[in-house]
A and B are shown apart, each in its own frame.
Chain A
Amino acid sequence: MMVIKNKRIRDIMRYVIPCVLIPLLVALGATVFSAKRHLLISMGVAILAVLLFFAGFERKKTGSRRLVIVSVLTALCIAGRFIPLFKPVTALTIIAGMYLGGEAGFLVGALAAVLSNFYFGQGPWTAFQMLGWGMIGFIAGLMGGLLKRHKALLMIYGVLSGVIYSFVMDIWTVMWYDGGLNWQLYMASVVAALPHTALYSISNFAFLWFLAKPFGEKLERVRIKYGI
């Protein structure tokens, strides 16, 4: 890993890489290369992005208490995936990002994806799931202050992230199957996944509605009591 000395530049890089570079690369891959290569590229990018975050985590000094809280939240996500129908994973990831910062949000989302897939089925989609949930947590971290202040915004973010996540995962599924992006196939899979997407967004909404505030209070308490 390269080490960038200047803190400003480092900060900027931290935002630029996930928000600009990755989508750019994917888009480039889609236009420049042929369809089959595109799949390869998008997977490579997903894996690289996840690795980049993990490497950043290794370099940073993380206190034991913070580490424990991240691990506790991840474990809650995984345990939550066992709840039938309503899955609190995304809601918890958002909460983690919101209260503990983007990096923690990313870690919680990405680790929950890879670990829970050992129970729910591992596959090439794991890399995308990691990136997807990770990004949801990361962006929640960037907008942390806003989301904490405006509950409406939080709800919108929760629902939107559910919908967008599903749509993006569908793109990928179709690409994997079809090689290219067949729009008809895509629309079909979106329609087929509609009940699932709806349930997903509803559960995001419900869990955020009921959990965000009490959860935040509890985290704050622990933060104050133990000075994290």
Chain B
Amino acid sequence: MARIDVSHVSFAYPSIQEKTLRDISFSVDQGAFIAVCGATGSGKSTLLRLLKREIAPLGQFEGEIRYNGVLRDEMSEREAAYKIGYVMQRPEQQIVTDKVWHELAFGLENMQVPQPVIARRIAEMAAYFDMESWFDKDVSTLSGGQKQLLNLASVMVMQPDVLILDEPTAQLDPIAASAFIATVQKLNRELGLTVIMTEHRLEEVIPICDKLLVISQGSVAAYGAPKEVVPRMLQDAALHSVMPSPSRLFQAVNGEGSCPLTVREGREYVSAWTNAQMRALPKEQETAHDKAALEMREVYFRYDRHGADVLRGLNATVYENEIYCVLGGNGSGKTTALTVAAGLNKPYSGMVRVFGKKIKEYHNQSLYRECLTMLPQDVQTVFLCNTVREELKDAEEGMALLPFDLKPYFDRHPYDLSGGEQQLVALAKVLATRPKLLLMDEPTKGIDAASKMKLIEILKALKQDGMTIVIVTHDVEFAALCADRCALFFRGNVISEGMPRAFFAQNSFYTTAISRMTRGIFDNAVTVEDAAHLCRVNGKARI
């Protein structure tokens, strides 16, 4: 019996002429795990929101959505609210109350469940999600990963049949993200929950999903088991970069035989391609570094006089004219380190120099006017005006740099754009200031793979022009492609640093899928190109 039937659904937002969704049809079996993917602005969020009646966007809707044969709009109020759980992209904004326990109880209170039953259900759920140690805490003290887990748990206490997740891991570090996805998988397996989930990082999701739904410009480009869909999508130029790296490697090498999807299958595939002639790529050339653009020595910082140190003796040097990527867990202090580097927070001990001058010596805001700009983690903090046009009034230069056309968004309010589009507008605004040192905090969150590639090109071009760029990111694949040097942040300090190939070859979690896949076979293949090159050089092993 099909659980969800979507037939011929089209949708248009009132303010936009074109239809955002066009004639979408698919059906989901009970207990299935569906992954949804597609480019930025292709309409994934819109589709998922339409599935949940309470939060369906206002606009012109055509077609039918049925749950167990009942039309979405004819379901009873309670059924519609409680049987379909929904977790959104931004962990912070979904939390309603101030205490963890109250947040868990919130949905059940709405269902008018009696107190003893609420007590039992949230106890059970807290134990399942291992939340006991922070059950009494204020939500403002939780880390990003904990917040998102809380969101999931507070939906799960209502015992839904269907769980819809819209990019739930966008703000999480790689380890927290895979833990989160593993939890979702466990729910799917153990409770028979139907799961529909969008993701930009498909490596983790494809191995566990039953079906893959690919959306392209508002219509279904493909729907089926990943085994069938992925090879087909690899042929599509627009969607190629969205697919998981093992499959892209497969295509880059020759594309014969069965396409590997998971890291494990990828390993088998690669091991067939080696006869141990060449295990490693040459090391990247050390560029001669002479002048430091940013220097931090023994920096200690805390937010609160009585709180714990957030930065603990941080030492880092970024040289002029390089791209320096910082990776690290949620709450390890990366954002804090950037604000200290930008002179926005003052360390209580230690030294920060920008282009050889202490931050104190830059008077009258000349630091920000002449040499340094920061793209904050929350890009909404840079928007001041009511339309994108006003926002970008002084940003001609920044826009010229971007290979994206922002003109179509000009008359919209910045908050009416999709997450990825907001990120791009903020980027244009920041680039327009033409800094010598650019600090970026998670510039790729919410952006699809194709836009990421374009962003890498821009950054490299800017580097050619003499800009120094520091990037904090959770996106390992992105860092592997664009960094000159990478650093791993842990408990307020940089604990390891290196050129991408050496750096990622050493890590086992903070590393790319390709690196994990080729471990023990190749020594330092990090990107798809690296591995493909090595495979081609080695040729197929004769068995």
Give the interface of A toward B (CB within 8 A).
217, 221, 225-227
Contact A227–B58 (Cβ < 8 Å)? yes
B58–A221 CB distance below 8 A:
no
Q: How far is the CA of A221 from the CA of B386 in the complex (A)?
A: 10
B58 CB contacts on chain A under 8 angstroms: 226-227
Interface secondary structure of B, over-half rule: loop
Point out residues on B near A: beta carbons under 8 Å.
58, 386, 413, 416
* CB of B267 to closest CB in A, whole Å: 49
Distance of A106 Cα from B386 Cα, bound (Å): 30
Measured between alpha carbons, how far is A227 from B55 in the docked complex, in Å? 13
- Complex formed: what's the CA distance from A217 to B387 in Å? 13
Beta-carbon nearest neighbor of A68 in chain B: B96
* Chain A residues closer than 8 Å to B413, beta-carbon distance: 221
CB of B309, distance to nearest CB on chain A (Å): 25
* A226, closest chain B residue (CB): B58
Nearest 5 A-B pairs (CB), nearest first? A227-B58, A221-B413, A225-B416, A226-B58, A221-B386
Residues on B with C-beta less than 8 A from A225 are 416
Name the B residues within 8 Å of A221 (CB-CB).
386, 413
CA of A225 to CA of B386 in the docked complex: distance in angstroms? 13
Note all chain A residues with C-beta closer than 8 A to B386: 217, 221
Q: CA A160 – CA B386 in complex, angstroms?
A: 33
B143 CB to closest chain A CB (Å) equals 22
A97 to chain B, nearest CB (A): 24
Residues of A within 8 A of B416 (CB): 225
**Closest approach, in angstroms, between the C-beta of B245 and any C-beta of chain A?**
39
Q: What are 6 A-to-B residue pairs whose CB atoms are below 8 Å?
A: A217-B386, A221-B386, A221-B413, A225-B416, A226-B58, A227-B58
- Expressed in whole angstroms, the minimum distance between the Cβ of B453 and any Cβ of chain A is 33
Residue of A nearest to B57 (CB): A226
Output the least CB separation between A56 and chain B (Å).
21
- Chain B residues within 8 Å of A227, by CB: 58
Minimum C-beta distance from A173 to chain B (A):
33
CA distance A226 to B413 in the complex (A): 14
- Complex CA–CA separation, A134 to B466 (angstroms): 59
CA distance A76 to B511 in the complex (A): 43
Min C-beta distance of A74 to chain B, whole Å: 13
Closest chain B residue to A225, Cβ basis: B416
Nearest chain B CB to A225's CB is how many angstroms away? 8
Residues of chain B with a CB closer than 8 A to A217's CB: 386
A217 CA / B385 CA spacing, docked (Å): 12
In whole Å, how far is A52's beta carbon from the nearest beta carbon of chain B? 25
A50 vs B85: C-alpha distance when bound (angstroms): 37
CB of A217 to closest CB in B, whole Å: 8
Looking at the assembled complex, report how far the CB atom of B53 sits from the nearest CB atom of chain A, in whole angstroms: 14
Measured in the bound complex, the distance between the Cα atoms of B415 and A221 in whole Å is 11
